[in-house]
Amino acid sequence: MLKGKKIVLGITGSIAAYKAAILVRLLVKAGAEVQVVMTPSGKEFISPLTLSTLSGNAVLSEFFNERSGEWHSHVSLGLWADAMIIAPASAATIAKMATGVADNLLITTYLSMKAPVFVAPAMDLDMYAHPSTTRNIEQLKAYGNHIIEPAAGELASHLVGKGRMEEPENIVRAIEEYFTSMAEPASPLSGKKIVITAGPTYEKIDPVRFIGNYSSGKMGYALAEECALAGADVTLVSGPVSLATPHPAIHRIDVESAAEMYDAARASFTDADAAILCAAVADFTPDTRATEKIKREKGSGLTLQLKPTPDIAASLGAEKRPGQRLVGFALETHDAEAHAREKLAKKNLDFIVLNSLEDKGAGFAVDTNKVTIIDAESATSYPLKSKREVARDIVKHLSTLFVSLLLMMLLPAGVQAQELKANITLNTEKIDGTNNEVFDVLKNSLDEFINNTSWTEYEFEEHERIACNFSIVVESYAEDGTFECSLMVQSLRPIYGSSYSTPVFKYQDNEVEFKYMAYDRLEYKEDNLDNNLTAIIAFYAYLIIGLDMDTMGELGGTEFLNKAQNIASGAQSLGGTGWQSGTSTRNRFTIIDDYMNTALLPVRQMMYSYHRKGFDIMFREADKGRAEIAKSLELLQSGYQDRPLSYFPKLFTEYKQEELINIFSQGPAKERKQAVEILTEINPSLTSSWDKISTI
């Protein structure tokens, strides 16, 4: 991810500067080009010579080189860089960055920087905890800089606390993650309107006293930032906290009491796509509020009469429209999961994030949290992480609901299908010298025929279409318009939450024969297969759509696979090759007949289980996804055992060969062993490939 990236590394005066040498080495090793810029006091802690040797570039520190008179332009560095990292960032540099005190080359470079800036603070615990540092860091965040939080541990002063610069490996990881996230396709949350409640509520007793709680707002604000980074349109309904709005695109509404939060959240939820209710809302408020300060009466106590506050979550849950998503939090002290599940059901939530005060480092005010995400079907527990990382996990979980929502829109009750986005290539090298005009016309007509025919009754956006390739190699061409060809058909399906596309079908058809004269009309009629070429294309179009739909819903492609089967039966009388039943060669007829045979039902179920239950979650939960894929191989095996002469299981293992090796070589020994056994049984000709699963 960092290969070829240009990085300005700013080093300031801190004992942690020695780690900058490791950081430079790691960045260079990852393929980045590094330009070090140091503050004058940074040079007291680590020698520029070390850094220039490691980076391969002269270190910059002064505005101009006294010896050569060369001017060091901070403006051109700002334009040159793909990222700037300031590590270590001392309290003084952070303060200068927050206020724009441009008295050294590092700060002027920062002020001119067009690329994202990452700041890794390093200082003693008291300096880090000082309100001015906190305020300056919040200010840097508000400018859009990325803060790489310092770790807690023993500091240079021998005191123990937070302030130690994050380890260079983790800094590099943070930057890699940033570039990866930038390269990823648009998040499913992009453009979604999301309401987030955060912080405590204050319920006034009199003008000077209130009932409140310890919520700092950190968890809710981290969620708001992550959603905004995912491209969502965020409304943050915030109780009284001392945090700056974490992202310039967030619309923030400040409230104080539960009643105010209720009004603001309800009003914003009307046209929202989702709400995440992270606020610690008071459950009770004083029945009456004294207008004047309640005086202490000698010898007598004070009894407050309380009444319940409105339950925001329950109210939004009751109003939730189909398609709207609602996420709640549960802060528990005992019987945590049971209580959380109760809230999940009672408040009509899509999922609930449980944090328990029984867990050290979780809950109120701290920078970390330990959560379990619970929905109607499952509970996933995460280790203790920074609230930022927890927010990322929650956002990922929410994103999958929008992906499944998209799928549900595509696949209501009986499962709908998508159109094709076909790429056609026509290779005529083997018959060079023939008049080529007819091939050009054929290629254009085929393109138009495949991509403009409505293969389904539904309307789909361009980006929702199934990607497939038809690659035709012309073997011979006769003057009467007879073509003999081989055809490679291939289709790919995207994996949700990733940029990866997985093969769903790949097949080489060597028996393509058809007649075509330039400007013949390519037209397909279901009930009148009068052109062998359009029959071939329609057959593969329906087969691809059907197979793809089988990966989306269990046996979801039946309607389209039936169409492909009808074409294969009907085309037998057309005279072209590739359609005959009972011939020894594998052909179109046999493939579809095989796949639709009841004995192969487990294989069709495998298509769903492998892709939808396995692959679609693998990029979120690698182990869980891989385990599902392992289970799906058992389905493949049982289909194969029911019909050992069938072709499809072999074909599947062939075009998934690389993918299967990659998936299982990351798994535990038991899964690897089982996969090798099954795959070797189904496709012994690839034994040497399957062996790689155990040896990699």
The correct pick among 283, 375, 447, 513 for binding ligand PMT (CB under 6 A) is: 283
Determine if 331 is a binding residue for ligand PMT (CB under 6 A): yes
How many CA atoms does the CB half-sphere of 412 hold within 13 Å? 2
Shortest approach of ligand PMT to residue 355 CB, angstroms?
5
Rounded Cα distance between 86 and 363, Å, is 31
**Amino acid in the structure at residue 121:** P
The correct pick among 205, 229, 279, 426 for binding ligand PMT (CB under 6 A) is: 279
Determine if 659 is a binding residue for ligand PMT (CB under 6 A): no
Q: Which is nearer to ligand PMT, 59 or 354 (CB)?
A: 354
Question: Binding residues for ligand PMT, how many (CB under 6 A)?
Answer: 28
Beta bridge partners of 38: 11
Contacts of 403-412 with CB under 8 Å at 24 or more apart are: 403/188, 403/496, 403/497, 403/616, 405/323, 405/325, 406/188, 407/552, 410/464, 410/552, 411/549, 411/552, 411/553, 411/556
| φ, ψ for residue 127, nearest 5 deg | -65, -40
For tokens 């101009």, the residue is 64
Determine if 328 is a binding residue for ligand PMT (CB under 6 A): yes
Determine if 317 is a binding residue for ligand PMT (CB under 6 A): no
Q: Which 362-401 positions form the footprint of ligand PMT (CB under 6 A)?
A: 363-365
Q: Give the interface segment with ligand PMT, choosing from 60-68, 307-315, 524-532, 675-683 (CB under 6 A).
A: 307-315
Q: Which is nearer to ligand PMT, 70 or 342 (CB)?
A: 342
Neighbours of 328 (CB within 10 A): 27
Shortest approach of ligand PMT to residue 294 CB, angstroms?
25
Positive or negative: CA dihedral 159, 162, 163, 169:
positive
Structure tokens at 308: 């319940």
Rounded Cα distance between 28 and 48, Å, is 16
Residues 46-85 as x/- pattern, contact with ligand PMT by CB under 6 A: ----------------------------------------
The correct pick among 237, 243, 281, 466 for binding ligand PMT (CB under 6 A) is: 281
Contact 293, 345 (CB under 8 A): no
Q: Which is nearer to ligand PMT, 199 or 497 (CB)?
A: 199
Structure tokens at 63: 């505005």
Q: Which is nearer to ligand PMT, 367 or 593 (CB)?
A: 367
Q: Give the interface segment with ligand PMT, choosing from 113-121, 176-184, 305-313, 605-613 (CB under 6 A).
A: 305-313
Structure tokens at 679: 């795959």
Q: Which is nearer to ligand PMT, 364 or 647 (CB)?
A: 364
Beta carbons within 8 Å of 378's beta carbon, 6+ residues apart: none
Determine if 217 is a binding residue for ligand PMT (CB under 6 A): yes
Instruction: Indicate the helix (H) or strand (E) that contains 179.
Output: helix 168-183
Determine if 343 is a binding residue for ligand PMT (CB under 6 A): yes
The correct pick among 24, 280, 398, 630 for binding ligand PMT (CB under 6 A) is: 280
The correct pick among 355, 372, 605, 653 for binding ligand PMT (CB under 6 A) is: 355
Structure tokens at 341: 């599940």
Shortest approach of ligand PMT to residue 339 CB, angstroms?
7
Shortest approach of ligand PMT to residue 397 CB, angstroms?
15
Determine if 455 is a binding residue for ligand PMT (CB under 6 A): no
Shortest approach of ligand PMT to residue 200 CB, angstroms?
7
- The number of angstroms, rounded, from the C-alpha of 294 to the middle of its chain's C-alpha atoms is 54
Shortest approach of ligand PMT to residue 225 CB, angstroms?
13
Determine if 16 is a binding residue for ligand PMT (CB under 6 A): no
Positive or negative: CA dihedral 650, 654, 657, 659:
negative
Determine if 218 is a binding residue for ligand PMT (CB under 6 A): yes
The correct pick among 313, 489, 543, 607 for binding ligand PMT (CB under 6 A) is: 313
Determine if 229 is a binding residue for ligand PMT (CB under 6 A): no
- The number of angstroms, rounded, from the C-alpha of 572 to the middle of its chain's C-alpha atoms is 46
Rounded Cα distance between 573 and 166, Å, is 72
Determine if 607 is a binding residue for ligand PMT (CB under 6 A): no
Torsion of CA 390, 394, 400, 402, to 10 degrees: -140
Shortest approach of ligand PMT to residue 689 CB, angstroms?
48
Rounded Cα distance between 683 and 693, Å, is 14
213 is catalytic: yes
Strands (E), 583-643: none
Q: Give the interface segment with ligand PMT, choosing from 78-86, 176-184, 357-365, 468-476 (CB under 6 A).
A: 357-365
The correct pick among 90, 268, 309, 632 for binding ligand PMT (CB under 6 A) is: 309
DSSP of 262-288: HHHHHHHHTT-SEEEE--B--SEEESS
Contact 10, 86 (CB under 8 A): yes
Beta bridge partners of 332: 356
* Backbone torsion region of residue 32, taken as left when φ is above 0, otherwise alpha when ψ lies between -120 and 50, otherwise beta: beta
DSSP of 541-561: HHHHHHHHHHHHSTTTTHHHH
Q: Which is nearer to ligand PMT, 137 or 219 (CB)?
A: 219
Q: Which 243-272 positions form the footprint of ligand PMT (CB under 6 A)?
A: 258
Shortest approach of ligand PMT to residue 347 CB, angstroms?
6
* Nearest residue (beta carbon) to ligand PMT: 312
Rounded Cα distance between 348 and 330, Å, is 13
Shortest approach of ligand PMT to residue 222 CB, angstroms?
8
Residues 169-208 as x/- pattern, contact with ligand PMT by CB under 6 A: ----------------------------x-x---------
Contact 17, 42 (CB under 8 A): yes
Selecting among 57, 104, 136, 213, the annotated active-site residue is 213
Q: Give the interface segment with ligand PMT, choosing from 25-33, 275-283, 287-295, 681-689 (CB under 6 A).
A: 275-283
34: DSSP letter: E
Structure tokens at 629: 């894929």
Q: Which is nearer to ligand PMT, 349 or 571 (CB)?
A: 349
The correct pick among 38, 219, 446, 682 for binding ligand PMT (CB under 6 A) is: 219
Determine if 578 is a binding residue for ligand PMT (CB under 6 A): no
* Backbone torsion region of residue 672, taken as left when φ is above 0, otherwise alpha when ψ lies between -120 and 50, otherwise beta: alpha
State the catalytic residues. Answer: 213
Residues that bind ligand PMT (CB under 6 A): 197, 199, 215-220, 258, 277-281, 283, 309, 311-313, 328-331, 343, 355, 363-365
